A and B are shown apart, each in its own frame.
Chain A
Amino acid sequence: MGIDSVPVGSWARIEAIEDAAARRELTRLGFEEGADVEVISRIPFGPIVLQRRHRQVAIGRELARRVQVTTQ
């Protein structure tokens, strides 16, 4: 499933990022395929905010749909 459907406060493992440019950028930032991340906010119809260790990134809703994750 896409990370856009993960509830706030839950953890998920990034399995695949289906956008080449975003995959490169997220890998550099440390949100690579295989990383465990926490969803810390979902702006209604807007971006999803992810946290890993102590760092945060915001990704637009459209992109979040293409970030495939699994949850425990």
Chain B
Amino acid sequence: MSGCHDPPAGGGGVAQHPKGVHSVDTKPSAGESNTSPTTSVDREAGLIVLVGNPNVGKSAIFMHLSGTYAEVSNFPGTTVEALSGRWKGRALLDGPGLYGLGEHSAEERITTEAIKRASVVVNVVDAAHLDRDLFLTLQLAESGVPMVVALNLIDEARRAGAEPDPEELSRQLGVPVVPTVAVTGEGLDELATTIERARPGTWSLNGDDDLARRRAADELYTQLVPQTRRQRRICDWVGRASVTLHWGIPMLALSLAGIYLLVGVVVAQHLINFTEVRLGHEFWEPLARSIIEGIGIGGPIQEILAGEFGLLTMTVTYIVFLLAPLVAAFYFCLALLEDSGFLPRIATLVDRVLTAVGLNGRALIPIILGFGCVTMGTITTRLLATKRERTIATALLNFAIPCSAQLAVIAALLAGLGGGWVFAYAAIILVMLIAVGTVLDRMLPGESTPLLIELPPLRWPRPAGVLRKTLTKGYWFMREATPWFAAGALVVATLQVTGGLELWQRALRPLTVSWLQLPAEAARTIVMGLVRRDFGAAGLYEMGLTPPQALVALVVITLFVPCVASLMVMAKEHGARVALRIWVGTWFVAFTVGGVLARILSWLGVVS
């Protein structure tokens, strides 16, 4: 039977736009055929735009139609820019999620602009939270753009005993409505054929008043959804508990402990031990060396390809056998946090802490993403409300947040030292975060904006979704990082062959040996760190450092310059001046803190 509900031909009920409702289902092909004469003028032929509230499944529908991967998360703000793809030869845009149309933010402007050009708008709504979504739906239905409503997450609404009536919605709005479950693909084929029959809504509101529209939406909602008491489910209870102090904090602590156990212990210690030592050092590197020798390559080229910093030896070992497993483990944990809907709840719990550094709870999202990839985190700072908050969050990310690759190497190094050192490292980085944030909060004019965040319902993450996200993001990260890593290795290997490394090490002796109390070879780490911090940290691995030296070196390299990719994103988002200031600032902060720490450690009598 049909799950699709068209408004009755001729228009019943509230229809006031007879031109949009004429015989529609007979012409399935050309995208322009159904648009009403008043709206077809500046429409781009065939352009389809997905519009909806954050976190309603737009991206899943986009992926289904276009075959392109887009992020699916259970928190608002993942799609920062409009993604474009193609469907049946037509352009398809996945806009950022938003609760209403206007000119109040970059997301709204992007979407409003795209809707003006669209020949069809697919309005994706969350059937389980239709009261909220109807506000935007009514705005679209008033605008006269040809549209289709995808009543998504209909399964969730059904389970909650609050399934909206699609036929009634279609009749009231005058547009086709298709119930869907995007993640399982239910109803999507039907949605695809219905796009051909999109038409302008017949809804009209007196004036353009937000409050009037909200009240109309609420009233429409009560007509669509049976007003019975919803069943409380376990997820609802956990959701409520997670934003209270006495349940939320232990839940947060438990999650962090779980992440540490998986990433820091199982993967960083046990799995890496096997992949890096057995597969990397003992199997792959001798094999690569013997192949290079077998081919008869010698001299400096041999050194560059298969020497200490060889492109085929060290680079491969670090990327394939050390970074890849750790980065994947980390993205797996992030995917769980994102898809479960726990992230905005954590943002609520830590709001108080972040207001101390001029941010609000919302800034937790870019910061957490920064632990995956600082570059990605820096891009996501766009979801913060003011330039001031974006600047502070960007600075925190680029000064003191180690990305997954760096964490990977750091975890592997610290794992050998024991709990006390792990704690000391974490405490120092935390203090630095607070210090950098506080200084900026004082320096920059203005004050922090208050938190206002919707808390999505908790959901069990879908295993297929989590796996897909882990692999896609992990792959994306490795693809991004590998060329830089290889370039860094090439530079260092070349410097070594030409004797430049020796000179550099000697030149930096006052800084490394006298000030930081590290071996002279640590200067290499600094060269490598200029390219990527994780690469720098990787260089520390075989230096035979004592525990206090390792701590100093790790703190320095964590606070040191952001990777080249992050630097470029910063310059793009905040201008070259801010980017350069942050970059130079990291030199100063990293070496000052490192030197002071070395002094404190020797003063405390920790043998170095």
Residues of A bordering B, CB below 8 Å: 19, 21-22, 24-30, 32-34, 40-41, 43-47, 49, 53-63
Contact = CB atoms under 8 A, between A and B. Distances in A.
Given A30-B132, A40-B240, A46 B455 contact: no
A24 B136 CA distance: 13
A47 B351 contact: yes
A60 B188 CA distance: 39
Majority SS at the chain B contact face: helix
A43 B454 CA distance: 16
Contact of A41 (B160, B243, B457): B243
A61 B449 CA distance: 11
A54 B160 contact: yes
A71 B230 CA distance: 24
B602 interface: no
Contacts of A21: 104, 385
Contacts of B240: 40-41
Nearest to B162: A54
A17 B521 CA distance: 61
Contacts, number: 113
28 contacts: A27-B135, A29-B132, A32-B210, A32-B215, A34-B211, A41-B243, A43-B243, A43-B351, A43-B352, A46-B349, A46-B351, A54-B129, A54-B160, A54-B162, A54-B230, A54-B457, A55-B129, A55-B454, A56-B455, A57-B452, A57-B454, A57-B455, A58-B243, A58-B344, A58-B453, A60-B360, A63-B450, A63-B451
A28 B451 contact: no
A51 B245 CA distance: 17
Contacts of B131: 30, 53, 55
Given A41-B240, A58-B455, 15 more contacts: A19-B450, A24-B210, A27-B211, A28-B210, A40-B243, A41-B244, A43-B351, A44-B245, A47-B361, A54-B160, A55-B132, A56-B243, A58-B243, A58-B361, A59-B451
Contacts of A40: 240, 243
Contact of A56 (B128, B245, B454): B454
B138 to A, nearest CB: 11
Contacts of A41: 240, 243-244
Nearest to A59: B452
Given A28-B100, A43-B351, A54-B160, A60 B129 contact: no
Given A33-B211, A47-B348, A62 B243 contact: no
Contacts of A24: 100, 102, 104, 210
Interface string B118-140: 00000000001101100110000
A53 B131 CA distance: 9
Name the residue in A24, A25, A44, A46 with the highest tally of chain B Cβ atoms < 10 Å from its Cβ: A46
Majority SS at the chain A contact face: mixed
B515 interface: no
B87 interface: no
A30 B131 CA distance: 7
Nearest to A53: B131
A32 to B, nearest CB: 5
Contact of A60 (B128, B132, B351): B351
B218 interface: yes
Nearest to B350: A46
A54 B129 CA distance: 8
Contacts of B211: 27, 32-34
B355 interface: yes
Contacts of B370: none
A3 B606 CA distance: 53
B450 A32 contact: no
A22 B453 CA distance: 10
Contacts of B43: none
B349 A43 contact: yes
A46 B348 contact: yes
B289 interface: no
B164 interface: no
Contacts of B128: 54
Nearest to B344: A58
B438 to A, nearest CB: 17
A63 B452 contact: yes
B99 A25 contact: yes
Contact of B452 (A26, A30, A34): A26
B451 A30 contact: no
Nearest to A25: B452
A46 B450 CA distance: 11
